Structure 1
């Protein structure tokens, strides 16, 4: 997927326009920003997770293929009677901390109540217009297959933010570990819609 349009300046401008915090001071002060693209084809890793931060005054930006949406299986078979969870766009202060996904491997795990849309019409279309349910939903940031770069979301996400590649998640976790030594084990997560980047 083409990621050339994603820059630190673009992400920062979008955050500033929306009134969100963008961390510019201090080394390894991580801006973890998801981008939910306009491509709404179900079951694909068609979104991005970005991490931007400064090291000795110089910006670094990393962009990873991911999904910010639940896979088709859970759209058709919700785990919750209210419907499948879709993390609401916006800035979520202190959303994540380092932990283990389902107790199995290092990941970013939910650390604060988060708002999700409940999609309960059991079809392939993503519905972000219905009920908003704020609480502890187990919305983690983790990887899909540990053996290969995944192409289909399927059961890898019931609402989590999921990296297609294990190596990408491991890289993010490594950055977070370093960041915790400076700022503590708490990470803000900002989820933007692609259109947010188009109106800066």
Structure 2
């Protein structure tokens, strides 16, 4: 089960951290907020994290929750694709770092996603290849930490748990379509630039 704090709880944490919250009060003003929440006991082999997307438009505030993983898969923890180690996104707010663009994974399954193309993020580099999450060796840069779709049925395929080498990955492809539709509309109506905020369950 993934963690679903209410809208007031999420905005309260973000305000306490002095993070940006998009209001969308005026025509053409950004309104969509993208907030990931990592479980306090992180598991690289489960879709047990959350992404909440919400608007704060007066009289029309709404929120949707989806199950994701914010952690790299066990396969990539044991077999890093980067010589410095496997990327684990550090919690924080990354302002105007992402846009709707084409995600091109090693599998060749290209699809539109919300991709880190506009600014740097900070990741930990786990390089001991033990298959467990080690939050060490922070590094900032352009690493392609994208938000993209995962399996078709929402189940973690334990025979081939290779969905993430550091990206934020949806547990269900149908959920991802709902998410992407909202992001595409925001990109078309306002601007193709998104801020991604990653919190931790311990923040609540």
Question: Do Structure 1 and Structure 2 share a fold, with TM-score over 0.5?
Answer: yes
Q: How does 1:1-200 map to 2 (within 5 A)?
A: 1=1, 3=3, 5-26=4-25, 29-54=31-56, 57-102=59-104, 104-111=110-117, 112-128=119-135, 130-145=136-151, 147-152=152-157, 154-197=161-204
Contact 1:45 1:65 in 2 (8 A): yes
Please state whether the residue corresponding to 1:6 is helix, strand or coil.
coil
Q: Which stretches in structure 2 are left out of the alignment for 5+ residues?
A: none
- Match of 1:100, SS state, is strand
TM-score, normalised relative to structure 1: 0.90
Q: Is the 8 A contact 2:36 2:52 kept in 1?
A: yes
Q: Work out whether residues 34 and 53 of structure 2, in 8 Å CA contact, stay in contact via their aligned partners in 1.
A: yes
SS for the counterpart of 1:40 is: coil
Please list the CA deviations of residues 123-163 of structure 1 after superposition, one character each: whole Å capped at 9, or x if unmatched. Answer: 132111x2111111111110112x32132471100000000
Instruction: Give, in angstroms, the shift of residue 39 of structure 1.
Output: 2.8
CA-to-partner distance for each residue in 1:63-85, whole Å, 9 max, x for gaps?
Answer: 10000000000111111111100
1:17-59 CA deviation, whole Å, 9 max, x = no partner? 0110111233871110000011323311010011011456221
Over residues 80-135 of structure 1, what are the superposed CA-to-partner deviations in whole Å (9 max), with x where a residue is unaligned?
Answer: 1111000110000012100111182111111222111101111132111x211111
Aligned counterparts of 2:43 and 2:188: Cα–Cα separation in 1: 39
The Cα of 1:14 is off from its aligned counterpart by 0.3
Q: Which runs of 5+ in 1 are unaligned?
A: none
Alignment: residue pair count: 194
The answer as to whether partners of 1:39 and 1:46 remain within 8 angstroms in 2 is: no
Q: CA RMSD in A?
A: 1.8
The 10-residue stretch of structure 1 (176-185 or 188-197) with the greater mean CA deviation from structure 2: 176-185
